A and B are shown apart, each in its own frame.
Chain A
Amino acid sequence: MSKGVEALVEMVGKLGGAVEDVRKSEIYIRVPREAVRAVAKLLYDSGAYLKTCAGVDERGTSGFYSIYYIFGLDSHGVDAVLKVLVPEHDPLIPSILPEVPAADWCELEIRDLLGIELSGRLTKRLVLPEDWPDGVYPLRKEFRYDEKPPRVVREELPEEVGIPVGPYHPALHEPEYFELYVEGEKVVDVVYRGFHVHRGIEKLAESPRFTYKQIPFLAERICGICGFVHSTCYVMAVEKAAGIGVPERAEFIRSIVLEVERLHSHLLWLGVAAHLLGYDAGFMHTWRIRERVMVLAEYLTGSRKTYGINVVGGVRKDLNVDKIDKTMKTVAQVREEFKKLADAALSVPQIKARAVGTGVLTKSEARALSVVGPVARASGLYRDIRKDYPYLAYRKVSFRVPLYTEGDNLARLLVRVEEVFESIEIIKQLIDMLPGGGIVSEEYEIPPGRRAVAAVEAPRGEDVHFVITGLGRPYRWRVRAPTYQNIPALRAMLRGTSLADAPLTIASIDPCFSCTDRVLVVDVRSSRRSFIKLVRGG
């Protein structure tokens, strides 16, 4: 523990916090319920950012509900995990939202799924659907994973019902719902509603249908673009909790595949951005180049997507000479072709004209909302988990973290363009240094009651998985995808921007939604609210 962290822990102690456990990159601190806001403020003011919070039903073991707040201390490479016990007879906790704006969604999620009420803030239903009955909390242990509570028909109509006037999809053909309040073509305010397809994956993983070994394949299905990030993050959390040693070669293979996934994801996004800017030649050529990466992924793992090679203890597929050769050739081709394309695309006058100064997120807003990934780096926050908390083989490679201070759509675009080149260099270094040996540890035990936080730098930012081990499967598995952290920043980014730039701005966080678009456009001059519902193929 560094001196800075020691000093911080001492100050937390003065506020009533007690250190429970100190590990290499995590410190678990138990904090009294009444002191949580003060401790959160202390950590936040000292430069920490909130990674996420998670509610756990630990009544079966400790007799309490537990709330875990995971704060990242980037400069020290350590996570401070605050644990607050909440008694069953009084499920109430002071909200830390007034001190930590980034706590908004995870607090509401705890309220929805675990039934812990929050004091000191406005509350609303976030995750559960409108027809879910009150007083039924799916993350409580007595709630069976396959239980289907009766649907509730609510009397009052949602306030947004109005005249259906036609489809409008701001960016990506996935479920999301934005209310854009406009004056003419200028967006003056934004309201977001999401979680239309909450799949209950965390609950499913706790069910008897899944075991530690099966969950990587479930985790990979969290996202159709960066699924490998999730399976890697899950297995890292379990391995960390149980102290399982992973062969070095497996760590290299995971890192290589993670970078291959970043390449395809960034190229995918850059193509979409070009399409949104009406530059379809850029869209088509970016995806043509991306196709080489998809073929490479299939060659390395057996699948273009949803690779399925992660297991607890290592990986299932090794790299042979042919695969190494193919990887080197492919990344060299991709680099050459993408360099030409990026130069051409960035010289198109409309690209710069429309991306400069639009969708601006200032550094202070980015910090307040604890945004991650290219969104943070484009707003001047030096935040990259691969550097801050070196994991897998990243601790052995040298690479640059692209950083811009403008915080606009162009900055986010340029960060991703540069990251494509950095990923290629990382892959080359990893291939050069690939060690020999096995690729999986078969002998291990996972004792119950262990905890761990793992983070992986996904293409969209930091992915966080928190695991409490149980018997045969996790007792609790909390997943926080990067989009979860970045969407709240859209309000700040969209205010004052033109309606024409709203699709690009929404897309600029590279969000993960799914197959239905819903948007409400409100003209504040005429006060006309128009509800739009669009169903599109995914």
Chain B
Amino acid sequence: MLHSLAVAAIQLVLAPVYDGLERKVRAAIHTRIGPPVLQTWYDIVKLFSKEVVVPVGGSWYALVAVLEMLTLVTASVLLVHVSSAGLNRAALFEASVFIVLTGIATTLAVVRAVSQSNVFSVLGGFREFSLMISAEPFLATSLLLLISGAEAPASKAIAALVLVIAAYVISGRVPYDIAEAEPELASGVNIELAGPLLGVATLSVVLKKFISATLTALALTSWSSLVGIASLAAAALLTPIIWIAHTVVGTLLGRSRVDLAVRFLYTTLFILSSMLLVSYGLGV
């Protein structure tokens, strides 16, 4: 328990730092100086120093935002357990619970958004839902197949590729920042949040990015035979590198539209998943 709490604390500290690094790298690509690396932390601290503003409709919205963040923290800790097990059947239970928790976190975000009287929040919520059903089932399938014994090279490679794509989608970066899409929806799902609640939502956003990078690291280390501390260390080292790679990809692309994004994801991931099931069935 203590170990898990320590892991959660480390992740909570690191995720905003990595996000600060992302802002710095993005600024460099833009030929800007950019904010300090700790800027995301400064933002969060400042948001927590402000008064609590309960969104119109009741305090349960606030509870949902906090629950969403705690769910993501738990999911992120479970991912560390999956990582330390070296992506084998021993981690099947943790992986299953992780998948359920990420689904719950997204559902909470959608429920929070669509329950508001703000039309932009509602639109953002539906967009989040569309992305969720386009990516998370494929993320679950590929992760479980990787863990439960997709040993053959073709199956493994396709499963890893599906996991990498689906993990990028849940990071909420361009071109999949559709649910917030500032110039279109003026921050969409989070539009009604302010002060500490926005701080909590910011932590949720960076935790999703952390989970996304860790999942990609797992997909890459699935080719190694590392287990235990070695596997954990490899994932920990790869996570910031993948985070930066995600940043570069997001910076060089434009925002998609929800119908285009869903169509692209369904087409791509469905084809890849079909290939995965066939190759898995054939044992190649």
- A residues adjacent to B (C-beta < 8 A): 163, 165-169, 171, 185, 274-282, 284-285, 288, 348-351, 353-354, 498-503, 521, 523, 528, 530, 534
CB-based contact A500/B181 at 8 Å: yes
Q: Which of B31, B174, B191, B260 contacts A354 (CB 8 A)?
A: B260
26 contacts between A and B (CB under 8 A): A165-B116, A165-B118, A165-B121, A166-B191, A167-B191, A168-B120, A185-B123, A274-B254, A275-B183, A278-B175, A278-B254, A279-B254, A280-B251, A281-B29, A284-B30, A284-B31, A284-B32, A348-B252, A350-B175, A350-B260, A353-B260, A354-B256, A354-B257, A500-B178, A501-B257, A534-B186
Q: Which of A168, A349, A500 contacts B186 (CB 8 A)?
A: A168
Cβ of B255: which chain A residues have Cβ within 8 Å of it? 277-279, 350, 354
Cβ of B123: which chain A residues have Cβ within 8 Å of it? 185, 499
Q: Which of A171, A348, A501 contacts B253 (CB 8 A)?
A: A348
Q: Which of B31, B119, B175, B256 contacts A521 (CB 8 A)?
A: B119
Q: Which of B236-284 contact A (CB under 8 A)?
A: 251-260
Q: Which of B140-196 contact A (CB under 8 A)?
A: 174-175, 177-178, 181, 183-186, 191-192
CB-based contact A285/B119 at 8 Å: no
- CB-based closest 5 A-B pairs: A278-B255, A350-B254, A284-B30, A279-B254, A165-B118
Q: Which of B207-241 contact A (CB under 8 A)?
A: none
B117 proximal to A (CB < 8 A): yes
From DSSP, what is the main secondary structure of chain B's interface residues? loop
Cβ of B186: which chain A residues have Cβ within 8 Å of it? 166-169, 534
Instruction: Give the residue name and chain of the B residue nearest to A280 (CB).
Output: B30
CB-based contact B30/A185 at 8 Å: no
| Distance between B92 CB and nearest chain A CB, rounded to angstroms | 37
CB-based contact B31/A288 at 8 Å: yes
Cβ of A353: which chain B residues have Cβ within 8 Å of it? 256-257, 260
Q: Given known contacts A185-B259, A501-B257, A523-B119, what 9 new A-B pairs fall within 8 Å (CB)? A: A168-B186, A276-B184, A277-B254, A278-B174, A278-B254, A279-B253, A280-B26, A350-B254, A353-B256
A145 to B123 CA separation, bound complex (whole angstroms): 47
| Distance between B180 CB and nearest chain A CB, rounded to angstroms | 10
| Distance between A252 CB and nearest chain B CB, rounded to angstroms | 34
Cβ of B30: which chain A residues have Cβ within 8 Å of it? 280-281, 284-285
Cβ of A534: which chain B residues have Cβ within 8 Å of it? 186
Question: Chain B: interface residue count, which band?
Answer: 20 to 34
A96 to B184 CA separation, bound complex (whole angstroms): 38
| Distance between B249 CB and nearest chain A CB, rounded to angstroms | 11
CB-based contact B117/A165 at 8 Å: yes
CB-based contact B251/A281 at 8 Å: yes
| Distance between B189 CB and nearest chain A CB, rounded to angstroms | 12
| Distance between A413 CB and nearest chain B CB, rounded to angstroms | 12
CB-based contact A500/B258 at 8 Å: yes
